[in-house]
């Protein structure tokens, strides 16, 4: 373990804690007092600093601003039933960040810097980890090309690693009204769809805006082939329960390897569901509606955990899902996940890292 002395710590003298209403948290609107910052210069990561959250100075030639070398993670820390704090699936998030960095030709981040950085930061902002059920501390580690003073087209020599955090409440939403997007795609084979890089989001905003103007909440992305195989739902993975089987598209270089998705696939066995990772074309899916074999559909991701889908428009027709079954997979798996994260169920899959500072 890196001891706190290896981090330089500069505490804020103006905590925003007292003015924060933990009963009315909106996702992404509240940030904790501190952030972690480390620079990559001349081929090495420098001493990480824990500093007050605030604006950063960036040179206008910073290559992230021009060429999009920027990747991120989204993860959560939970208050356990005995008051401790645990981080969910830190190794898997680290592995994914490493893949994203490699794909964007950015320097690797040592696991120790990632893991200790998260732990030291959360320890410092311990009071920001909510205590209420269903609440958590959202963690946003990210790396971007930073202060290089030349802007020719090339990969940067200078990078910055930042971690910011913020308390979040439970996600409740009406069921989503989605359309299968048949004009735009999010990712193509050989591209960056599997990487959590900024550009994937930038490119998705416009099609999403058009879908919202048509009255939908989000789009369902396909692979753009003639079968229109389903890939993801907005910036979430998509899962179905068809004939009591949990079905989701197989991972590929066009699908983000969601850690919530992976957790659901693992929990399915514990809950007695079979799983299938297989291609689902829109015709297949329409058939499942017509045969009434489709029981559930939901998006999965760290922020929402599970976002129930109410209708899917495809092939010129709106197909309605049945009401979310209270004893169905989504609700049971979501509460099982919550129980594991908070220590109310055994952590049989070893997903929790307890902060032991």
Ligand X SMILES: *Cc1c(COP(=O)(O)O)cnc(C)c1O
CB of 192 to ligand X, least distance (A): 11
- Residues 180, 200, 141: CA angle, nearest 5 degrees: 125
Q: How far is the CB of 59 from ligand X (least distance, A)?
A: 28
Nearest residue (CB) to ligand X, 50 versus 90:
90
Name the minimum Å distance from CB 19 to ligand X.
29
Rounded Cα–Cα distance for residues 33 and 30 (Å): 10
Q: Which is nearer to ligand X, 125 or 232 (CB)?
A: 232
What's the CA gap between 11 and 289, in Å, rounded? Answer: 56
Closer Cβ to ligand X, 119 or 200, answer by number: 200
Q: CB-based burial of residue 346 (10 Å sphere; 0-12 exposed, 13-18 middle, 19+ buried)? A: exposed
Query: With contact defined as beta carbons under 8 Å apart, do 94 and 144 qualify?
Result: no
**Least separation, in Å, of the C-beta of 307 and ligand X?**
11
Q: Where along the sequence are the contacts to ligand X (CB under 6 A)? A: 74, 196, 232, 235-237, 256, 258-261, 300-302
The residues, any chain, with a CB within 8 Å of residue 313's CB and separated by 6 or more, are 177, 178, 179, 180, 216, 319
Residue 157 or 347: the one with the smaller Cβ distance to ligand X is 347
∠ CA 349-25-304, nearest 5°, is 40
Q: Which is nearer to ligand X, 22 or 72 (CB)?
A: 72
- CA–CA dist 118, 35 (Å, integer): 10
Q: How far is the CB of 256 from ligand X (least distance, A)?
A: 3
């Amino acid at each position: 373990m890196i001891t706190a002395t290896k981090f330089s710590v500069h505490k804020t003298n103006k905590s925003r804690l007292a003015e924060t209403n933990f009963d009315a948290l909106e996702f992404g609107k509240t940030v904790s007092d501190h952030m972690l910052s480390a620079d990559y210069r001349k081929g090495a990561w420098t001493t990480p600093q824990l500093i007050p959250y605030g604006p950063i100075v960036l040179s206008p030639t910073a290559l992230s601003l021009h060429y999009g070398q920027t990747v991120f993670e989204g993860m959560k820390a939970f208050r356990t039933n005995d008051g401790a704090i645990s981080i969910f699936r830190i190794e898997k998030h680290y592995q994914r960040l490493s893949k994203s960095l490699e794909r964007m030709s950015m320097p690797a981040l040592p696991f120790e810097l990632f893991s200790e950085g998260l732990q030291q930061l959360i320890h410092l902002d311990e009071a920001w980890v909510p205590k209420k059920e269903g609440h958590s501390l959202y963690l946003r580690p990210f790396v971007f090309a930073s202060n290089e003073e030349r802007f020719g087209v090339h990969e940067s020599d200078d990078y910055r690693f930042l971690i910011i955090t913020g308390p979040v409440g439970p996600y409740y939403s009406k069921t989503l009204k989605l359309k299968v997007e048949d004009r735009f795609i999010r990712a193509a084979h050989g591209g960056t769809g599997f990487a959590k890089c900024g550009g994937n989001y930038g490119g998705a905003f416009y099609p999403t805006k058009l879908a919202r103007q048509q009255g939908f909440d989000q789009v369902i992305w396909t692979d753009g082939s003639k079968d229109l195989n389903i890939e993801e739902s907005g910036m979430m993975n998509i899962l179905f329960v068809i004939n009591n089987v949990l079905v989701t598209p197989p991972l590929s270089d066009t699908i983000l390897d969601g850690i919530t998705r992976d957790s659901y696939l693992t929990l399915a066995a514990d809950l007695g569901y079979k799983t299938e990772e297989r291609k689902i074309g829109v015709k297949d899916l329409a058939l499942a509606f017509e045969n009434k074999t489709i029981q559930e559909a939901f998006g999965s991701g760290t922020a929402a955990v599970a976002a129930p889908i109410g209708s899917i428009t495809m092939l010129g027709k709106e197909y309605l899902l049945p009401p979310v079954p209270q004893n169905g997979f989504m609700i049971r798996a979501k509460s099982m996940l919550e129980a594991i994260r908070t220590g109310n169920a055994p952590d049989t899959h070893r997903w929790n890292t307890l902060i032991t500072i």
